C-alpha cells in the first residue's frame, strides 16, 4: 500500500506544529499535513496545529512504489510520460496501490506533479512539471488553452467526413446517477471538439478517428462522441446503466462481460500528440504507442474469441 504510518517522534505535551517543525517540515507543510488529516497521535488524527500531544506521533505518508515507467521526453523543467491505460494520473485515496505519482516522485521528488490529467482508462501523453514553478506555469498554459492536444480513438460505426461537435456540458444533476458522469445541457459550459476520420474498418464496423478538443472539459471527447452516436469502443460510463458502470469501476465485471457490453477490454482512447510553447521554446511531442494497430487488434481478437 502506498500510504504508510511513518513514526516521527514520541511526544510529551508538545504542540503538533512544533513536533513537525523539529522534524524538518516547514510551516506551510505543517498546516497542509494537518488540514489533510495526515498527522496522528497514538492512532488518532490530529486536527489542530496547536493541539498538545503526548504519545507516538506518526505521519500518514505516501510511499512510492515505482514500476519502472520512464518519460519519453524530458528537459530541465518538465517531462512527458506515455501513460498506460488503467493507471491513475494521481492517487485517488489512501487505498490506491499505484499511480503515476509513484514514478514522478521517485524520479523528481515531492514537488513534481502532473500539469493536467488523463482519465484512468485513457492512455497517452501527460506533462509533468519537475518543480513547483514549472507546475504552476505549465498549468497556466493548459488553463489558458495554449496547448494543442490531439487524441486517437476507435469508435462505433462509419465516419466519412470531419465532424465539428459543439455541445455544452456539465456534471449529471441526477442524484441517482454516477457522480462523475457528465451530460449535454444547454446551460452547461461550452465545449467544442473536432473529429477527423482516419480509417474505417469494415470487418469490425468501427472508425479510427483523430479527436482535437478545443476546450478542456471533463470527459469531453467521450461525451461528444457518444452524443453524435459514435461511442468509443470500451466506453465504461456513457450508454451504460448505473449497475453496469459500478461493476466496471469496482472491478467486479470480468473481461468477457466487459467486452460483450462495451466492445473492448479498455477505453480505446489515446492522447497521441501535444504541442506548446514553454520558456520561449516550441515543443511538439508525439506518442510512441501504435494506437491504430493495438486498438484494432484488441477488438478483432475479441470478436474472433466470441466466435
Q: Are residues 19 and 101 in the same domain?
A: no
106 located within any domain: yes
184 located within any domain: yes
Residue that has been written with the C-alpha cell 470531419 in this structure: 162
296-307 pLDDT, tens digit each: 999 987 655 554
Q: Per residue, what are the HEC states of 225-291?
A: HHHCCCCECCCCCCCCCHHHHHHHHCCCCCHHHHHHHHCCCCCCEEEEEEEEEECCEEEEEECCCCH
Q: Are residues 35 and 159 in the same domain?
A: no
Q: Are residues 125 and 153 in the same domain?
A: no
Q: What is the pTM of this model?
A: 0.87
Final residue of a domain: which of 144, 164, 184?
A: 144
Q: What is the mean pLDDT of residues 185-208?
A: 97
Higher-pLDDT residue of 94, 32:
32
Q: Are residues 57 and 68 in the same domain?
A: no
CB atoms within 10 A of CB 9: 17
Q: What is the mean pLDDT of residues 101-108?
A: 94
218 located within any domain: yes
Residue 158 clears pLDDT 80, i.e. is over it: yes
Q: Are residues 175 and 298 in the same domain?
A: yes
Residue 194 clears pLDDT 90, i.e. is over it: yes
Residue that has been written with the C-alpha cell 515543443 in this structure: 283
Q: Domain span at residue 107?
A: 64-144
- CB-based contacts of 134, cutoff 8 Å, min separation 6: 77, 78
281 located within any domain: no
282 located within any domain: no
119 is catalytic: yes
Q: Are residues 46 and 74 in the same domain?
A: no
Q: Report yes or no: 69 and 81 within 8 Å, Cβ to Cβ.
A: yes
Q: Are residues 157 and 214 in the same domain?
A: yes
Q: What is the mean pLDDT of the chain?
A: 93
Q: Report yes or no: 176 and 188 within 8 Å, Cβ to Cβ.
A: no
pLDDT at 1: 47
280 located within any domain: no
Q: What is the mean pLDDT of residues 230-236?
A: 98
Domain tally, the chain: 3
Higher-pLDDT residue of 33, 200:
200
Q: Are residues 251 and 268 in the same domain?
A: yes
Residue 219 clears pLDDT 50, i.e. is over it: yes
Q: What is the mean pLDDT of residues 23-48?
A: 91
Looking at 106-262, which runs of residues are DSSP E strands?
A: 113-114, 123-129, 148-156, 163-166, 169-171, 182-184, 192-201, 206-213
Confidence class of residue 196 from pLDDT cuts 50, 70 and 90?
very high
Which of 76, 119, 131, 272 is catalytic? The answer is 119
Question: Over pLDDT 70: what percentage of the chain?
Answer: 96
By three-state DSSP, how is residue 69 classified? coil
Q: Are residues 199 and 73 in the same domain?
A: no
Amino acid at each position: 500500500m502506498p500510504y504508510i504510518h511513518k513514526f516521527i517522534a514520541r511526544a510529551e505535551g508538545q504542540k503538533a506544529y512544533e513536533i513537525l517543525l523539529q522534524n524538518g517540515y516547514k510551516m506551510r507543510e505543517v498546516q497542509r499535513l494537518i488540514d489533510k488529516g495526515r498527522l496522528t497521535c497514538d492512532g488518532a488524527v490530529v486536527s489542530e496545529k496547536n493541539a498538545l500531544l503526548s504519545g507516538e506521533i506518526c505521519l500518514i505518508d505516501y510511499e512510492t512504489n515505482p514500476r519502472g515507467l520512464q518519460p519519453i521526453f524530458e528537459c530541465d523543467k518538465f517531462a512527458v510520460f506515455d501513460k498506460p491505460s488503467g493507471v491513475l494520473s494521481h492517487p485517488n485515496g489512501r487505498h490506491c496501490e499505484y499511480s503515476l505519482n509513484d514514478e514522478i516522485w521517485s524520479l523528481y521528488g515531492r514537488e513534481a506533479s502532473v500539469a493536467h490529467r488523463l482519465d484512468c482508462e485513457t492512455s497517452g501523453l501527460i506533462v509533468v512539471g519537475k518543480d513547483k514553478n514549472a507546475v504552476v506555469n505549465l498549468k497556466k498554459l493548459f488553463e489558458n488553452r495554449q496547448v494543442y492536444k490531439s487524441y486517437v480513438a476507435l469508435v462505433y460505426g462509419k465516419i466519412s467526413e470531419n465532424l465539428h461537435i459543439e455541445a455544452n456540458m456539465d456534471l449529471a444533476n441526477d442524484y441517482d446517477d454516477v457522480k462523475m458522469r457528465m451530460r449535454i445541457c444547454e446551460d452547461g459550459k461550452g465545449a467544442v471538439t473536432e473529429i477527423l476520420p482516419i480509417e474505417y474498418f469494415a470487418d469490425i464496423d468501427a472508425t479510427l478517428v483523430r479527436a482535437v478538443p478545443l476546450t478542456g472539459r471533463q470527459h469531453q471527447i467521450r461525451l461528444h462522441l457518444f452524443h453524435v452516436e459514435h461511442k468509443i469502443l470500451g466506453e465504461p460510463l456513457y450508454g451504460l446503466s448505473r449497475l453496469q458502470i459500478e461493476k466496471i469501476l469496482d472491478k467486479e465485471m470480468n473481461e468477457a462481460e466487459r467486452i460483450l457490453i462495451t466492445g473492448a477490454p479498455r477505453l480505446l482512447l489515446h492522447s497521441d500528440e501535444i504541442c506548446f510553447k514553454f520558456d520561449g521554446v516550441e515543443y511538439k511531442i508525439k506518442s510512441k504507442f501504435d494506437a491504430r494497430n493495438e486498438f484494432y487488434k484488441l477488438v478483432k481478437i475479441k470478436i474472433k474469441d466470441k466466435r
